[in-house]
Structure 1
Amino acid sequence: MNELENKIIKFIKKHELIQDKSKIVLGLSGGPDSVFLLHILSKLKQEGLIQEIIAAHLDHGWREESAKEAKFCLELAKKYNITCEVRKLSELELNLKFEGSKEDLGRKARRHLFELIKEKYNYDLIALAHHAQDQEETFFIRLIRGTSLSGLTSIKPKSGDYIRPLLEINKQEILEFLNSHGILYVTDPSNISHEFLRNRIRELVIPALKKCDARFEQNFKITINRLQETEFFLEQLTKEKFNEISTEISGIFYLNLNQLFKLHNIMLYRVLIYWLIKQNVKFPTGQSFLDEIIKFLAQPESQGPKEHALYQNWSIIKKKNLAHINIK
């Protein structure tokens, strides 16, 4: 193991990303980042930390090169003696709405595929090749579009079954490693197109910040770590407050409305989101949606409806100062 590989191992251990004998689905695009991650995971497999790796590649069919990239991934996986599952976007049964961002649609489709493969083979984790510059770009995308503190924490090393072992590795380090070891990869021409906000931030904003102050990358990393620590503290506090004001009966969580509205507004919003997540219902993430819930819950029972249908297949029912979610 060289210095860069040891740095990644240290990051994995620090954040407890991989347990012994884990089985991992790798999102493989064929680009330098995911090819490098394949190399790292293969090394970990040789060391005995990982039991199995399977690669998953989605052929969007949006560019002429996509079929060649799918073939490249199949051949690369064969060299590493692992299976590579390739699917075309048209083959997936998806119920996704196009909301103006092809990048976002592609991301959701890829995640759908990765989760299908994980379930098919009964694997443990899904590894993605996000690196330090992806972290920077995501921060500014969310800042521009508007977000919460949670959103500004950007990409976490682990979220659910997803792990990101390269999150503190710079893109330049990845390219230098691959080139020096003669490891081939494909280049996506859409990554330099200014049609996408992420690319405009990469090409215009980040270089300007580095020019303003050479300490940008180092201080950005420190700031993100502080934000993530703060968010983790608030997540734990939210769980505590939720447990204090809720009662579980047969898997349904009932909120005490008097206690709910004694919370600070910030904590009130967080508790509501946690409640929706605990009940495993789909919901939009906008502020207006949460405001609508609060308006309904705050209205006296004698002055309005006792049930409010808010989203697909579920509603909120309030009775005798308690509120619960009814899944239809």
Structure 2
Amino acid sequence: MTSKFQNHINTNLPFLKEKKLLLAVSGGIDSMVLVHLCHQLQLDFVVAHCNFQLRGDESEEDENFVKSQMEILQIPIFVQKFDTIAFAKQQKLPIQVVARNLRYEWFNSLLSNHSFDYILTAHHLDDSLETFLINFTRGSGIEGLTGIPAQNGTVIRPLLPFSRYEIETFANENSIAWREDSSNTSDKYLRNKLRHHVIPVLKELNRSLLTSFESTISHLKQTESLAIDASKSLYSKVVSEDENHTAIDLVKLLEYQNSQAYLYHWLQPFGFSDWTAVADLIHAQSGKQVFSETHILLKNRDTLLLFAKQQPFHEAIFWIEKEQSEVKFPLKLSFCNAGYISNPSSHTIFVDEDKLQFPLTIRRWSEGDFFYPLGMNGKKKLSKFFKDEKFSLLDKSTVWLLCSNEKIVWIIGKRQDDRFKVAENTAKILKINYTT
């Protein structure tokens, strides 16, 4: 296995020989074999061990074991303890998800603070097969059926070409010590059920299962590459972008037979997962939305608009004290006294300061809001104003209001309220400027 590993590094990952590496080591057989192989090749690496404190004394024994083995090999080691259960309760997430997040957050901080180039993990071919089956049983696009990637950013998995059998044989032949994780024997998790009950049957049916699996993965990756190339080619014909949002022209998109597949490739990087809802949005009424954790996909007539969520600030109110000369968040405003009105515009207004009641507020608009448009008699609902001005749903969602004691002073960047205008008897003129 040593020569095969060396050939794999020389052929596929030669850059690792010149880099500073961080090895994720649990103490299990896979990671301990990876340590010994990297040590034999004299790669420049240190070890990182996570103690998630999930198995009582066993977790402490794992930590002590890894420390002692690295001391024997004279390999530097970083160790981090996590109160994983507390984090899981706080974040209301499954323990496995929290443990993974904690692990990689810490690894990335080590990379940043100690100038490591890559993280190496000990995932192998059987792990990749298990991941394939998990994604297959849950339902997946093609990228979920291509196994574990050999490299994902700074994370590299140099043992992916090797089977669990090869790793176990190498460990036994070289008297490599390791720790068994008792949780691996439990069928509580889907991965373990597949490992203990499904994959052995598949291997009985096909003794060359892993070889067949590697061939299948190779074909699927080629197919995925074709799909990516096609989606990139169509993107510029159907999609337009600006600094605020991305627009997908549905009329043009629906000229192509595989419209939903293209949407999948374009939207998957933004965290969307409810593909039935995304597909339904194509023929939905204007105003329908689908959410990911970070983005909103909005149907607006014959267009799908994609933009980052602004939900955290939707209900927020921001206060402006009388002595403030500028505001930097949630948008940029400046305030100064003026002797006369000069060049008013949609981005610059002049108001009678004595008519204002401080603190002023900045907030989003809501149904029922009304104002008195400058130069007009009477009041007007904002919803009617938006309709008359032909505001899109996206335009309306980005509107901010400057208010004085609940009265609208300015639809910022759009229209001033007549009640606060400068009159002949105005003693103090306040100039307010909005900078985009």
Question: Normalising by structure 1, what TM-score?
Answer: 0.80
Equivalent residue in structure 2 for 1:32, among 29, 32, 39:
29
Query: 2:139 aligned with 1:158, yes or no?
Result: no
Partner residue in 2 for 1:255: 248
Contact 1:56 1:84 in 2 (8 A): yes
Partner secondary structure for residue 116 of structure 1: helix
Query: 2:284 aligned with 1:292, yes or no?
Result: no
Query: 2:252 aligned with 1:271, yes or no?
Result: no
Contact 2:286 2:301 in 1 (8 A): no
Residues 144-193 of structure 1: per-residue CA shift (max 9 Å, x gap) = 22222221112121122221111121222212222222221111121122
Partner residue in 2 for 1:231: 224
Residues 29-83 of structure 1: per-residue CA shift (max 9 Å, x gap) = 0111011111222334x2xxx5x42322211111131011112222323334333
Partner residue in 1 for 2:53: 61
Partner secondary structure for residue 323 of structure 1: strand
Partner residue in 1 for 2:118: 125
Equivalent residue in structure 1 for 2:187, among 179, 183, 194:
194
Offset at residue 129 of structure 1 (A) = 0.5
The alignment of Structure 1 onto Structure 2 pairs a total of residues equal to 305
Runs of at least 4 residues of structure 1 off by over 6 A?
Answer: 91-95
Contact 1:29 1:73 in 2 (8 A): yes
Change over 3 Å in CA distance of 1:237–1:175 after alignment to 2 = same
Change over 3 Å in CA distance of 1:206–1:131 after alignment to 2 = same
Amino acid at match of 1:60: F
Distance 2:304 2:14 in 1: 39
Change over 3 Å in CA distance of 1:81–1:260 after alignment to 2 = farther
Distance 1:243 1:124 in 2: 34
Amino acid at match of 2:47: A
Residues 3-22 of structure 1 correspond to what in structure 2 (within 5 A)? 4-16=1-13, 18-22=15-19
Equivalent residue in structure 2 for 1:98, among 84, 93, 97:
93
Partner secondary structure for residue 65 of structure 1: helix
Change over 3 Å in CA distance of 1:245–1:83 after alignment to 2 = farther
Distance 2:186 2:302 in 1: 57
Higher mean alpha-carbon deviation, 81-90 vs 162-171, is at 81-90
Query: 2:304 aligned with 1:310, yes or no?
Result: no
Larger Rg: 2
Question: Normalising by structure 2, what TM-score?
Answer: 0.62
Residues 263-302 of structure 1: per-residue CA shift (max 9 Å, x gap) = 313432333325xx2xxx5x353xxx23334444544xxx
Change over 3 Å in CA distance of 1:206–1:83 after alignment to 2 = same
Distance 1:69 1:79 in 2: 16
Q: Identity of paired residues, percent?
A: 26
Distance 1:194 1:129 in 2: 22
Distance 2:219 2:61 in 1: 42
Mind listing any 5+ residue stretches in structure 1 that lack a counterpart?
none
Change over 3 Å in CA distance of 1:139–1:84 after alignment to 2 = same
Amino acid at match of 1:171: R
Offset at residue 122 of structure 1 (A) = 3.1
Contact 2:297 2:304 in 1 (8 A): no
Greater relative contact order (CA < 8 Å, ≥ 6 in sequence): 1
RMSD: 2.9
Residues 233-265 of structure 1: per-residue CA shift (max 9 Å, x gap) = 322332332244333434854433333333313
Higher helix share: 1
Partner residue in 1 for 2:175: 182
Distance 1:151 1:218 in 2: 19
